[in-house]
Chains A and B, each alone.
Chain A
Amino acid sequence: MISRVGEEKSRSIEIRGFNKVYSNKSVFDNISLDIAKGEFVCILGPNGCGKTTLMKGVIGLIDHEGSIKTSSKDINYVGQDPKELILPWLTVSSNIIFPKTENQVNKEKLFSLLNVSRLIDYKDNFPKSLSGGMMQILLITRSLMHDADIILLDEPFKSLDFETSRDMRIKVRELWQSYNPTIVMISHDIEEAIFMADRIVVLSAKPTRIKKVIKVNLPKERTNSIIISEEFNQIKREVLDELSAE
């Protein structure tokens, strides 16, 4: 199943016949998917269905079958364990601007992002003084700092508390609307996926295939109250139906 969005020229990610073989077993049933430039897509699926593997394929970290084309080489990745991509020997602000250096970045933008992400008070500290959630925020802020054309978020709010996670959803959406990168996010939280995305890609269990692509017809400007709206709950029921129908 190929999910086509937009015209050929506006495609940001084009996945064709994607598969990864581990110990002679195929993880995927030749997945094909198109993601348009500036689109926000959430991937939902059961544990172990290969969501992270798919992301690693997009970023070029693993060998795989099929092809993945991206419109830009400027791809940023935020993994599940923030410690892994944070450089503990750099300060918080140096981590945000990494891989650029202080002279190569727009200081006003850095300051504004530090404020938005509430990391301003920690900018000169080393990451060891941050909580797991704040480290995750740091990595998301790094992606936004560099105007990455494509941002891959692998369960970015997993280690955040409820309130911070709710704030971060809004912040990431605000920043997405301001800078308009293509965002692909893996989530296990249906409400989070609906709140964040333009489209939700529901994956099956192994061998993984795309069960359904659900369009999220909600307003661009989203507040926390949207989760009690009728439209929101209708989409939630649709996603739940897809996830439970195996």
Chain B
Amino acid sequence: MSFLQNNKISNGFIKLSGIALVLVLWCIVYSLKLYSPLLIPSPVEVAKSLISFISDYNLLIHLGATMVRIFAAFIVSAIFGIILGLLIGYYAIIDHSSELLIDFLRSIPGIVLFPLFILFFGTSEVSRALVAIFVAIPIIIINTKYGVKNSNESRKNMRKIYKLGNLDFFKRVLIPESSPYIFTGLKVALSFTIIIIIVTEMLLGTRYGLGRLLIISQYEFNTAMLFSIIILLGMIGLLFNLGFNLFERKTFHWRELE
């Protein structure tokens, strides 16, 4: 244990060892031709394909289109999810009247609404975004609601003690107090937004997007590209997670007082 704590370099190597092991196994499988190279491409080819995402303008457009969709859906979900979650968490009447509805809606697998949204809005960006929003919003609402409900009672009383207006109270007390919960909700919601956007891109209605590129790569048996997109998506998810964790450590250092 002390070895792990004291030696940051060794710690870094140990963290990377899992990935290294998978890479080694991949190289062995490829070298021994255990599977057709059409199914398991060489790691070098996949690496080249990955690098092409930076250099190839056409690939960058696919990446950009997916990222824009993810951010747009996520931002809309975050705004509405946080506002609704705060209101539901603070006002018992709204909570009671909406609890069953939210539980029902979040039990519906979001992706099944895609055909319905296509009927309403066509194969447009709106349909795709709405599915992602439909999945992400309940996650943010529920986490925000529990953040408010688990807030310290005395801090909730500060509205009366300091005669704070509703907006001031929410902005200066309730939102910071609930923010660790809100943040957890945002983190989970972003993961689901990525999944839904990619899936809807894979289904239909777009020329650009990593999901679309995945399907094209599959049709063309371009497994190197297929692998590189999968790895790229993993890296995007990992980067978001690292970013979130860093932000969490910097922003919520005060939680030690709780």
Interface residues of A (CB under 8 A from B): 59-61, 73-77, 79, 81, 83-89, 98-99, 126-128
Which of the residues A74, A75, A128 comes within 8 Å of B257, measured between beta carbons?
A: A128
Contact B160 A60 (CB under 8 A): yes
Binds A, one of B88-96, B110-118, B162-170, B235-243: B162-170
Q: Which residues in chain B, 145-183, are within 8 Å of chain A measured between CB atoms?
A: 152-155, 157-158, 160-164, 168, 172-173, 176, 179
Taking a contact as CB atoms under 8 Å apart, the answer to whether B254 and A88 are in contact is yes
Question: Do the beta carbons of A61 and B257 come within 8 Å of each other?
Answer: no
B154 pairs with A126, CB closer than 8 A: no
Q: Are B160 and A84 in contact (CB under 8 A)?
A: no
> Are A84 and B152 interface neighbours, CB within 8 A?
yes
Decide: B155 and A85 in contact? CB cutoff 8 A.
Answer: yes
**Residues of chain B lying within 8 A (CB to CB) of residue A126:** 253-254, 257
Residues of A near B56 (CB, < 8 A) are none
The closest CB in chain B to the CB of A152 belongs to B161
Known: A85-B154, A85-B155, A88-B257. A99 touches B160 (CB 8 A): no
Question: Do residues A84 and B155 form an inter-chain contact, with CB atoms below 8 A?
Answer: yes
Which of chain A's residues has its CB closest to B172's CB?
Answer: A99
Contact, CB under 8 Å: B160 / A59? yes
**Residue in B160, B253, B258 whose CB lies within 8 Å of A61:** B160
Which residue of the partner chain, among B152, B153, B162, B179, contacts A99 with CB atoms under 8 Å?
A: B162
User: Are A89 and B254 in contact, with the CB atoms below 8 A?
Assistant: yes
Contact A77 B254 (CB under 8 A): no
Cβ of B130 to closest chain A Cβ, rounded Å: 35
Identify 6 new A-B residue pairs, CB closer than 8 A, beyond the known A61-B157, A73-B163, A126-B254: A60-B160, A88-B255, A89-B254, A98-B162, A99-B162, A128-B257
Judge whether B220 is part of the interface by a CB distance below 8 angstroms: no
Are B161 and A59 in contact (CB-based, < 8 A)?
yes
CA distance A60 to B160 in the complex (A): 7
What 0/1 pattern do residues 227 to 258 of B give for CB contact below 8 A with A? Answer: 00000000000000000000000000111111
Specify which chain B residues have a CB less than 8 angstroms from the CB of A76 in the assembled complex: 161-162
Select B254's contact among A59, A75, A128, beta carbons within 8 Å: A128
Residues in A whose Cβ lies below 8 Å from that of B254: 88-89, 126-128
A85 to B, closest residue via Cβ: B154
Please provide the 4 A-B residue pairs with the shortest distance between their CB atoms, ordered closest to farther: A84-B154, A88-B254, A88-B257, A99-B162
Question: What is the CA–CA distance of A99 and B157 in the complex, to the nearest angstrom?
Answer: 13
For chain A, what secondary structure do more than half of its interface residues adopt (helix, strand, loop), or is it mixed? loop
Instruction: Bin the interface of chain B by size.
Output: 20 to 34
Q: Are A99 and B257 in contact (CB under 8 A)?
A: no
What is the bound-complex CA distance between A61 and B176, given in angstroms? 22
Minimal beta-carbon separation of A183 from chain B (angstroms): 16
B152, B157, B176: the one contacting A89 at CB < 8 Å is: B176
State A96–B8 Cα separation when bound (angstroms).
40
User: Nearest chain A CB to B125's CB is how many angstroms away?
Assistant: 37
Contact B164 A99 (CB under 8 A): yes
Q: Contact check, A99 vs B168: say whether CB atoms are below 8 A apart.
A: yes
Known: A89-B176, A99-B168. A83 touches B257 (CB 8 A): yes
Residues of the B chain whose Cβ atoms lie less than 8 Å from the Cβ of A88: 254-255, 257-258
Question: Nearest-CB distance from A83 to chain B (Å)?
Answer: 6
- How many angstroms from the CA of A74 to the CA of B160 in the assembled complex? 11
B residues within 8 A CB of A81?
A: 154
> A33–B254 Cα gap in the complex (Å)?
41
B176, A87: Cβ atoms closer than 8 Å: yes
Q: How far apart are the CA atoms of A36 and B153 in the complex, in Å?
A: 31
Contact status A77-B176, CB under 8 Å? no
B155–A87 CB distance below 8 A: yes
Across-interface contacts of B153 in A (CB, < 8 A): 84
**CB <8 Å contact, A79 and B253:** no
| A28 to B161 CA separation, bound complex (whole angstroms) | 23
B251 → chain A closest CB, angstroms:
8
8 contacts between A and B (CB under 8 A): A61-B161, A77-B161, A83-B257, A85-B158, A86-B257, A99-B164, A99-B172, A126-B257
Distance (Å) between the CB of B232 and the closest chain A CB?
A: 36
A79 touches B257 (CB 8 A): no
Q: How far is the CA of A83 from the CA of B258 in the complex (A)?
A: 8
Considering the chains assembled together, what is the distance between the CA atoms of A12 and B146 in angstroms? 39
Residues of A within 8 A of B255 (CB): 88
